Amino acid sequence: MHRVVSAGNTSNNNSTRPRKEKRLTYILNDPDDTKHCAGINGLAVLKYAASDGSDYLFTGSRDGKLKRWALADDVATCSATFESHVDWVNDAVIVGDNTLVSCSSDTTVKTWNALSNGTCTRTLHQHSDYVTCLAAAGKNSNIVASGGLGGEVFIWDVNAVLAPVSKCNDATVDDSSNGMKSSGNLHTVGSSNNICVHTTQKEGYSPIAAKGHKESVYALAINEGGAVLVSGGTEKVVRVWDTRSGSKTLKLKGHTDNIRALLLDSTGRYCLSGSSDSMIRLWDIGQQRCVHSYAVHTDSVWALASTPSFSHVYSGGRDFSLYLTDLQTRESSLLCTGEHPIVKLALHDDSIWVASTDSSVHRWPAEGYNPQKIFQRGNSFIAGNLSFSRARVSVEGSSPVPVYKEPTLTIAGTPAIMKHEVLNNKRHVLTKDTSGSVKLWEITRGVVVEDYGKVSFEEKKEELFEMELIFEIFGVFDSFNELNR
């Protein structure tokens, strides 16, 4: 998928009054639209959907799309694409049995009918900057929180958000579906012939604002009952909030770098945090202190997932590695290593879904019902309580070896565009993707007109610009000859 933005004039020749710039965004879809073409930032599992009894995995990508995958033992089938965001999708959560909530770098939070063919039911415009994270309470709760780079944290009642517009309060909600509705500014997605246009219309609902962050928020978590919210970001502290009022109850200090991942147990008493300082910390919120620190990673910890009993934690991050750690005994085991930093984790029965900066998603064995089985295989180590560079004791006396070599299932993506150049004619774009393939796109039709394969991007760019220059020179000569006849 490739975005092209067109801007209109900012002033009117017949008037001295400036006119607001109008922008039009085109999304050029890959011919195989069942796959993501950029890194995966969001994962959410919906178990035993009431409509057909299937389990579903939802993925949110840097390509701006969400996808629903019907899960079987050895295959995952794309059954729907949710397309309305105009920038990276940064997170996704499931609320109840039928509501998918997503957030994006386009500064919006969106709700969707999770079991539809991609129907966007609401667009929420409360944030002033990129929305980086979401957190949802238990399945029987309707509370969702959102946080972003603006330092804002909002607490949403999804039932109120989805109520008829006449029952809402303020102008911060779009009652938007995926059709070609053209009212107001450009935002919602409708598509035709691989080209999508975005439109919006504003209505209203006001969430509870949890005020206190002075810097960017990167992580949120809510307990099962929806009463306790924790947040973290570049301030290096974990803030604890009362979701009913949005008031800050306390602040937990201990990390020395950005907080990137958070979890709460069902009661809201215990909190796990993962940080760019490479540490995982277990907090007792009642005692307002850190009770354990776990040094298992060699770099930033970006993703956490826990067993239902909160006895073990799965962690992944910038070191490409997925670990399982017993929170009580501190025993830890390296489950697997990949080729890309791990961004998100989602536990699904005895397996765990792993998303990374790559466009593919992998399912690995996790023994979620009985994680002690993994430690029985040996090669575990005792997690230290200092940073990795200072302490990690191996039970076997050597560096850990991954328990698993291959995933049990892979949802393959397509290569992402990593470099592009707009040609002088403004109609063609030369691109290079992560596999090394160089392609020429026709913007007005949204199609690839030439696939050059794995060639030098710079050489092909110079060749095409030189050809266009020759055509322009011949055009000038033709015009000159015409004038002298």
For residue 147, give the amino acid letter: G
* Rounded (10°) CA dihedral 297, 303, 307, 308: 150
Please give the Cα distance from 46 to 99 (Å, whole number): 10
For residue 54, give the amino acid letter: S
DSSP one-letter code for 143: E
3-class SS string, 31-76: CCCCCCCCCEEEEEEECCCCCCCCEEEEEEECCCEEEEEEECCCCE
From first CA to last CA, the distance across the chain in angstroms is 49
Tell me the pLDDT tens digit for each residue of 320-362: 999 999 999 999 999 999 999 999 999 999 999 999 999 999 9
Instruction: Write down all domains in the chain, each with its CATH number in brackets.
Output: 33-411 (2.130.10.10), 417-483 (no CATH)
pTM of the model: 0.83
**CB of 385 within 8 A of CB of 292?**
yes
Task: Residue 139: name the closest of 47, 39, 274 by CA.
Answer: 47
**CB of 300 within 8 A of CB of 275?**
yes
Tell me the pLDDT tens digit for each residue of 361-398: 999 999 988 999 999 888 899 998 877 543 444 444 56
Going across the sheet that includes 89-95, the strands are 89-95, 99-104, 109-113, 120-124, 173-174, 202-203
Mean pLDDT of 230-242: 97
Task: Please enumerate in sequence order all residues whose Cβ is within 8 A of that of 421, keeping only pairs 6 or more positions apart, or say none.
Answer: 429, 430, 457, 461
Task: Residue 119: name the closest of 162, 168, 165, 72 by CA.
Answer: 162
Tell me the pLDDT tens digit for each residue of 400-441: 899 999 999 999 999 888 888 988 888 899 999 888 999 999
Tell me the pLDDT tens digit for each residue of 51-88: 667 899 999 999 999 999 999 888 999 999 999 999 99
Q: Of 15-24, 267-276, 456-465, which one has max mean pLDDT?
A: 267-276
**CB of 101 within 8 A of CB of 95?**
yes
User: What is residue 416's predicted lDDT score, i.e. its pLDDT?
Assistant: 81
